Structure 1
Amino acid sequence: MTLLHAAWLQNSALPCLALWADNWQVATPIELDRLEAPPLHPLALSEPELSNWLQQQKLLPAGTQHLELQLSLPTRSNGLPLMAGELLPKQLEWWPWRVSALVLPAPLAATWLSKLPLTGGGNNCLSDELLWWSHLQRWVLSLIARGRWLPAVHTNRSGLASGRWEPLLNHESDRRRLEDLASRMPAAIHCANAPEIAELACMRPSAPRLQLAEIIAVLLDSQLRSDQATYFNEIETPKLDPLLAAWQSSLHCSAADLELVEGDCQRLASATAHWRETVAGRMAPARAVLELQVPAEGSELWQLHFGLQAEANPSLRQPAAAVWAAGAGKLQLGDINVADPAELLLEGLGRALVAFEPLGRGLETATPEQMQLAPAEAFVLVRTATARLRDVGVGVVLPASLSGGLASRLGLAIKAELPSGATGFSLGEDLEWSWELMIGGVMISLKELERLQAKRSPLVQHKGAWLELRPGDLRNAEKFCALNPPLSLDDALRLSANEGESLQRLPVHQFQAGPRLQAVLEQYHQQKAPDPLPAPEGFSGQLRPYQERGLGWLAFLHRFNQGACLADDMGLGKTIQLLAFLQHLKAEKELRRPVLLVAPTSVLTNWKREANKFTPKLNLIEHYGPKRAATDAALSKSLKGIDLCLTSYALLQRDSNLLSNVDWQGVVIDEAQAIKNAASKQSQAARLLAKPSRQGRFRIALTGTPVENRVSELWALMDYLNPRVLGEEDFFKQRYKLPIERYGDTASLKDLKSRVKPFILRRLKTDKSIITDLPEKLELNEWVSLSPEQRRLYTKTVDASLEAIQRAPLGKKNGQVLALLTRLKQICNHPALALKEETVGEGFASRSAKLQRLEELLEELLEAGDRALLFTQFAEWGHLLQSHLQQRWQQEVPFLHGGSSKNARQAMVDRFQLDPRGPQLFLLSLKAGGVGLNLTRASHVFHIDRWWNPAVENQATDRAYRIGQQKKVLVHKFITTGSIEEKIDQMIKEKAKLAADIVGSGEEWLGGLEFTQLRNLVALEEN
């Protein structure tokens, strides 16, 4: 498997990002002691291989140049380098290696990194360090967007001073982000620099932080230079500080040409000294702090006290008097010793003066301790100066009621409860509720607010607390009181899930739910699971405990008329839970109209069979095929007395007008990722058909894909389920998609998850509560139909072969029968196999329903990061499938077959079994790979074509299901309906003793069938 790596060249005149790649495989160890010069990296791609591979992956950057680099890499004792991207171990042995690399200057590197994903997802060619780089670049973009940068002076190693933009990282959240990224900095960041730098990074705890701060500065500076017109063209120069105006004009120069005169250097160096020290990791243990205290009784003057505050724990403070007493000695702040505290306080107060001019009156003495502020000055400090002071590294402590944020704004305190006797209740219905106005933690009436507003002072005292009144507060309160809006369950769900949510432009400070409403909200937020429901009357089967909980969850959301996405992991029985839910509705006499279920064509037969098996009392029809109803009258007639109607996504789009005229009680979509592209016609058709306003029909989506992590694809699913949750698409893009995908905004991601969590139930096989309910090995039949081309070829082959077999002499009959069975199995796999085609072309998957279903299952598997074994008895099919799957997912899919050499066989097994970044899929021929291998890294086994001998299949399955396996194993057996595969499968089930008796005899027993038996066996039947 090929993996892409990145290293930072900080020793060059212009810092660059270097890209190189290695192909992890068994390589010959090198005796390093005997080498006089650095050797070539034994696993690295050459110059042409690297370019070609990047082009194939659509990752080739523009404007790059090739260089041979010398990398200092940790090396194993056997003479092979460690995988780049591993975190630094405690002890390293560094050795030089030569690799071919593509070098990107910082501006190009920033553009290229912005296009990389934030997670590996299905693209396994990105190493851990590149994902780290991707997160770093998103943070740099966030710093730019938030204006967290200033001009500064940078002195290079030659002592020459030049100007550049540098990040402002004084904000607490940015400092935490810096520490987090520095702690996770991969070893590959250091490997392109001199060995002593790499070794230094291991020994000095602050080294990663120092180097990371420098990388951030380079990336930010290069992007601001290239985009300076975007950021500054709209700024009027006269409004700028003269130094900033000069700086703006100097940006027309390149980084190398930009020089500052000595005076400018000194001014910039002085203005930015404190936060540059913060970036470089030389942060002082304490900082200056200003503490605002409310006026004494009968006074209008506010008290502003000076002191020092611990950086690590802001609650630890010492007043200025203690600081001056300590002088140049040491001051104790909890467990922290602060050296030279007096100088630290003076330096901090000097910086504070720049951000808050009235402070100058309090600095007239040599040892200032406090000062008084007029009400207007106190208001400026509360409203605007506090943010500026914190930006320059000065702490500010305000009274609790003025501490900023939503709590200090005028808002609401709400009490709500479900209406008495409510059973069925939708999100749009109104609750019983009451409200009060609140500001700064204090209740206030409208009349009291009017009285305080009449004082025309921005800071007022009310019930012993000082409050900040804003110009629009009274107006917003009067509008709310006049409107007195209703409160729905939808509002309650949103307000209880997201702190700081607003109602009619007033933030909600307190939300108190009554007992009945609280129980509902806990179940919505999955803090408390809805009551499980046992298998309903008429359900033929037994539900496992987690399936009973899933049934209860579906019934709970249905009770409140909300769409539900059942996103259980593959193999946990989403089909069974949905069928049990429909049977529950029927048993409760709530299923009064037909339900439409939309699924990929490849699984329609599976739905029909599962419904007939588990819910035989559900009346079911298929809206599929040339004989389906074509008019409103015909469809209405066919749906009389029907509970469940099955159709495909293709027909949902094609027959959208016809289907939209039916009064469906509900719409269910299986493999819901099919509607992820909101602009596609089938996605639009599904969402239009399922609109909640249409006769109150329920909506359910089934998927094995973790949709809560697919930010850009989540909107279409939620628009199908509950359109009000995420709003219109344009709003969703601006509020969630752009902040999360471009800037990696964790707050927006948290908010998004809280909004969709109530409507998505996701359980994994790895959950302990689920594992205990699963069998050790779960076998699943994957029923698929034949494509039109397969059906034509199958029928033609049967007709021609039966005639030849009937005329054949007795000695040749068995051979011809087995040849026919083999050819029919090949047709069931793919027409290309039977037609002896040697390449895969456009539309290859569309020619085989079995391959389409395989792709759907593998999509879920790869998304979950699982590994799988794929068995086939045909080497030709394995080669075709290998080529197709590698093109489909752009990753290595090894194929072990009878022609594989011993060394190649072992290399493939080692990469799959031992390499943590090895291939996720492993193709094996049944004969060559069905015995003698230990492949316990796989948790899925696919029998693409059946050997028709349970013992042989079980032997192959046991490559994964054996001692050493840590995960539950899911075994998928593909069966094409109406074909020989289905009939042989039934014969094996009915004749279990016969199946046991033929262990080791292959399929020879089929050659002795009489002609009538053979004809019935191979005849293609209608589904």
Structure 2
Amino acid sequence: MLVVHAAWSATGGVCVWAEDATLSGTAKPGVKPRKHPFGASVETLRKIFGTGDECTLTLLLPSSSAGPVAAPELVRPAADKPRKLKQAPWTVNALALTPGEAVRLLEQQPPETPSGCWRWMAAVARFAEALVDRGQVLPGLVAGHARWIPQLTGDEADHARALDKAMPAVVRAEQADLPGDLMPFVLTALTDAIVRDRLEEIPAGGSAPERWLRALTTQDAVVDGDLGDLGEKLRSWHRSAAPPAGPLRTCFRLALPDGDDEDWRVEFLLQATADPSLTASARDVWQGTGAATLLARYAEHPEEVLLAGLGRASRVYPELDAALRVSTPAFLRTDPQGAYKFLRQSANALTMAGFGVQLPSALQRGPELGLKLKASSSKQGQSAVVKGGMGLNDILDYQWKLAVGEDELTQAEITELAKAKAPLVRLRGKWVELDNARLRRALTFLEQSGEGRMTARDLLQADSALAEQGLDVPVTDVVADGWLGDVLAGNIEDQLAPVPTPDSFTATLRPYQERGLAWLSFLSRLGLGGCLADDMGLGKTVQLLALVAAEGGGPNLLVCPMSVVGNWQREAARFTPELRVYVHHGAGRVGGGELAAKVAGSDLVITTYGVVSREHEELAELGWRRVVLDEAQNIKNSASKQARAVRSLPAAHRIALTGTPVENRLAELWSVMEFANPGLLGPASAFRSKFAVPIERDKNQAATAALRRRTQPFILRRVKTDKQIISDLPDKIEMTEVCQLTAEQGSLYQAVVADMMDRIDNSEGMERRGLVLSTLSRLKQVCNHPAHLLKDGSRMPGRSGKLARLEELLDEALSEGDKVLCFTQFAEFGEMLRAHLTAKFEQPVLFLHGGVTKAQRDAMVERFQSDAGPPIFVLSLKAGGVGLNLTAASHVVHVDRWWNPAVEDQATDRAFRIGQRRNVQVRKFVCAGTVEDRIDAMIRTKKALAEMVVGSGEDWLTELSTNALRELFELTPDAVGEVA
């Protein structure tokens, strides 16, 4: 079990201080634990974490005479002076989690102020998931329990050691017996949970190995009975697979046959561990020629390294023995059967054992033998259609064909394949992997079910249906005629009919919004779900309200973040005043029969993700015509409690609204589409192997195109900058404001760089990554203002180039009667700006941050949007970046940068959205000659690439070399200027 308590999250209430403190050990004799004065209640913990069994912990925490010392994440800028500290035991409420529950929790959005402990555990969980993704796990037996054990090669071992060094002391704060080597314990527990979550349970067996295999796939990992010598055999196997260490390693390359030659070869190479692109063939190694001369600088006798590696490799790849009978082995000759075994078994085993493996790209990304489904409108029987003359119950004539990729095979080719004995065959000039058993199953399927009739719904989910039947033959293509063919081809323009809205609908839809309404209505008639992924500000809200108003009837359930409940209420009242709206949220919300009555009398029911997560069983019993998710990225983690909760709500039609259907990983797209159209993309595991891994890891264009074909009909995406979409939205004028540092800032900047570069140079792994990010944060603070870095409450005027430029811009904007949004990623700097600007301009300045309640937030928005409201609104980037309509502003200033174009654009879109009548000027502050200046240049030159990359942020900086970091952080001579 893993235990979560409020020490995991500063927002949980327990204040723990772990910096420069050793918290392991026992309390002094006779010291009785006391209840933590700020400890969170069990109810609060459940509200934050949502799962786990309640328990109580005794923690050894740094304390003063006044009590436990606050965590660094909670300390205000004006922190107390250091006091003499001692360890003292404190009891706190806690929740005990299984490793699986911990993994799901850590994958979710972290608390607003995550503690170092939370961040560390999340980093270990991400590391565990990466190991599982790469197959670097082996099944084992530990103290009578079946366990999936991570296998760490050179880089991974370094990463694990760095994580161990970076472990916050508070992780070991519990006053109890903990494993001496805690990091491997946690990593193994999380890795084991991740693997089990991806495996299907296998049937029970009687022998010890069968019982062990079953225990590897069940939540109860205990292996009962006499295990005999199973444990020793497993340990011996693990030792044989131990990765080799050193600057050079043996590498194996599978070479395609030349011409008509049927012989394959596994060639031997020597490879530099630190630079895998540097290799030398075994022949060059024996002769000491070619690239082998370059490898000689890594080892005095590279030929001995090669021969020793081949000997070790023979333990996991026994076929090597045949090649090792000569004194200078260079390759292993094999047949197609042996090449296939190497491709599908031995290559993976060698990789896991730490050897290099190179496979032909023609086999890695080659065409796949599978089934192609062709369908056409049925010429027999009566179609069961819905309103509009079409629907998912339409009857279609279908025919299955054997295909390679999208190409149908002729009968002659099928006959030739059926005769083939080899698992790798040439077909139409390409190498195709042929599983004879799978081919026989496909041919049997074609004989029994090769043609017939099915509904359009069945056709859309045909590949998932085959998988459920146990037929492991992939569906490589699906084609149809009529409206379904248009849907599959993403060409549905001819099917979109104008949708009239009732007279009570007060908005005038723009042409692209009318098309969006027609698209939503088209999918609604078919019973198909969709994702309206319009850019922020293009009016997803009004399009959804228009659909509800046009179709009538109900009830419709809208699930949204708490922060936008009020916005939906106001917009519904504004555009659809006759719509009966009920808000199911807050402490006074009803349940049972009263809730059922409220829902029955409503057209639109608005609730939050939190409420659905807690009340999904009761809500699922109500009859929903449609379920809509606003800000649908909230379910991007498909395994989260709220994602599972919203998917459990039955409805005839489902819609997801989001401007960012993919923020970091393609798994998020699967989660959104699994809500909208369950089963459309197949099971999560199949989606991962078929689309996510080939696209994210290998940049596979064929998989990308296939995924686009599959999802395009069900995702409507428009952007504001496309003038064909909207021609009457004012321009967004973006500019970079280059500011100079003051002499004080320049001095502080150089001091931070000198101090931190020495520390970075002498660190590695996670410690180094943490120092790089810490340096970046501190340099940003220097660029903002010296008082931001020093946190000494000192005066603001005349000490910062950014602040001087901000004052100039605000003075000009206010003189013209304009309103301004000022974004910063630092909440403490936002408070400093609010206080200073209030005094400077002698009028109120609003400040929105994570600690503001919903009521206060709504009041701020209303004040700012009113003509007489305050003209300056300071916002922390995270709290103010989504869910707000602030079109009263015509200026947006990013005082400091997040270096994530998508996040900054979301924040800018608070002003640049529908309802804006003036041009919006967006200024992004950077300090000349600093890290800000250099990263801004890199982002601008690579913006097109940045927008395509899965995942963004600042973590990429941690992978730069020390010299590259020094160049990035170095202050140029022209950085410092004079500020009045």
TM-score of the pair, normalised by structure 1: 0.48
